[in-house]
Amino acid sequence: MDQLTVNAPSREDIRDWDNENFLHPWDSVDNSTMERVVASTGKGIYLVDQEGKQYIDGPGGMWCVQIGYGRQEMADAIASQSLQLPYFSPFSMASEPSSVLANKLASLTPGDLNTVCFTTGGSSAVDTAIRFVQFYNNLRGKRDKKLVISREKAYHGSTYLAASLSGKERDKRLLDTEERLVRFLPDVNPYKRPEGMSVEDWCDEKVADLNNMIERCGAEKVAAFIAEPLLASGGVVVPPKGYHKRCLEVCRKHDVLYISDEVVTGFGRLGHWFASEDVFDIVPDIITCAKGLTSGYLPLGAALISDSLMADLPEEQRDGAVFSSGFTYSGHPVCCAAALKNIEIIETEGILEHVREVIPHFQQRLNALARFEIVGDIRGEGLMGCIEGSAGANLPMEDKLKIDHEFGARIDQRCEELGLLVRPLINMCVFSPPLIITKEQIDQMFDILEQALTDVQSEML
């Protein structure tokens, strides 16, 4: 037995060190008693803790583990590139993996989105997109055209610029953001529409919200509209049919750029490389991506910019114009090698086709959960789903908030006991399993969710 095995820390050591030293994303500063699952290994759609208990990874990591865990070919590609060329300076050199990946992404994107700015993840991809929009308008002599329109419940990242564009109010209570940059549109969730209003009328209202906001701010001051095809962390909010296409038309009318944030929906989550055109029938000006680009094996993101934007930069201004944005790790060769292998696996194993095949079964099992009295709304698209609880719907606000938090926490706890990880968001639980999930595994996942809902409903009603 080697020395590392002899001195391997115990489960208790890891929990203690985790609580004492690791401030997790979106973590309470008072986390000394957290009892997180300690992931030890992963295989396929499953994670295994140190005691050998197996869990279905319902959230797919963080919306990202498309090809599943434990892929030997990913490890081999990463190791090989680490030995061959672990790093190059993107400021002065080129590398094979980054060049090949940029070309590959250009072939997968809709329309003419052929210019690739590599970043370190989704937040920095959004930052890069916004900085390019500012650069673009400055070169066009439109220095006042800087406002960005976003939406309530949107999530675009946790860097300062990306966080400023995010519309999840609970994330901003104790942190500052740049309020001068952004304007927010009201919630687009059809579940929140007034009683008696049709979904079609709701769509009309939401599109009008965008048009009215641009006109109120002045089109000469509005630079871009940024939108996730589905508002993922906002609770898998699926906008009404036709919403995105009509919003793009509004943007075109007002010379406002359309940024499609596909950090979650890209690379197969809805059954296509990108959802913008294939699912929502739009070709945006910029797409941001990350997460599924490497299936979470290594951190990598990108902002994908259209040729038409590049061509629109005034010729007389191009000489000496430098887009002063980028990162030490832009186009990191090991990360790019991981992305190329990930894309190769998705292609050769027909994973996009598989996703499209199992989506109807996934959505059928999801929608069947609406029968529970404790459930207020069920929504989803592709391999994304959300259960929204309604146990406290008729209570005073203070009591409702307490019940809402209990719903998510109780479903999360019961699912974990039964061998399923979900992601609780107050009164919601969201899930987006690895794309390789089979119909049998989908049944296993939803059987656990049904049992958890049965148990929690008996406790709360």
| Domain spans, the chain | 37-67+350-460, 74-348
**Residue ranges of the chain with per-residue pLDDT less than 50:** 1-3
User: In what order do the strands lie in the sheet containing 301-306?
Assistant: 113-119, 301-306, 286-289, 257-261, 222-227, 147-151, 182-185
Say how far apart CA 101 and CA 346 lie, in whole Å: 14
Residues in the chain, total = 461
| Cβ neighbours of 208 (radius 10 Å) | 12
pTM of the complete model: 0.95
CB 101 within 8 A of CB 339: yes
**Looking at residue 1, what is its pLDDT?**
42
CA angle 368, 239, 267 (to 5 degrees): 85
At 249-261, the pLDDT tens digits run 999 999 999 999 9
Q: What is the pLDDT of residue 5?
A: 53
pLDDT score recorded for residue 111: 97
Q: What pLDDT does residue 421 have?
A: 97
Decide whether 37-67+350-460 matches 74-348 in CATH topology: no
Tell me, letter by letter, the H, E, C secondary structure of the chain.
CCHHHHCCCCHHHHHHHHHHHCCCCCCCCCCCCCCCCCEEEEEECEEEECCCCEEEECCHHHHCCCCCECCHHHHHHHHHHHHHCCCCCCCCCCCHHHHHHHHHHHHHCCCCEEEEEEECCHHHHHHHHHHHHHHHHHHCCCCCCCEEEEECCCCCCCCHHHHHCCCCHHHHCCCCCCCCCEEEECCCCHHHCCCCCCHHHHHHHHHHHHHHHHHHHCCCCEEEEEECCCECCCCCECCCCCHHHHHHHHHHHCCCEEEEECCCCCCCCCCCCCHHHHCCCCCCCEEEECHHHCCCCCCCEEEEEEHHHHHHCCHHHHCCCCCCCCCCCCCCHHHHHHHHHHHHHHHHCCHHHHHHHHHHHHHHHHHHHHHCCCEEEEEEECCEEEEEECCCCCCCHHHHHHHHHHHHHHHHHHHHHHCEECEEECCEEEECCCCCCCHHHHHHHHHHHHHHHHHHHHHHC
Q: Which fold has domain 37-67+350-460?
A: Aspartate Aminotransferase, domain 1 (3.90.1150)
What pLDDT sits at residue 454?
A: 97
CATH topology (fold) of 74-348: Aspartate Aminotransferase; domain 2 (3.40.640)
pLDDT at 315 (0 to 100): 83
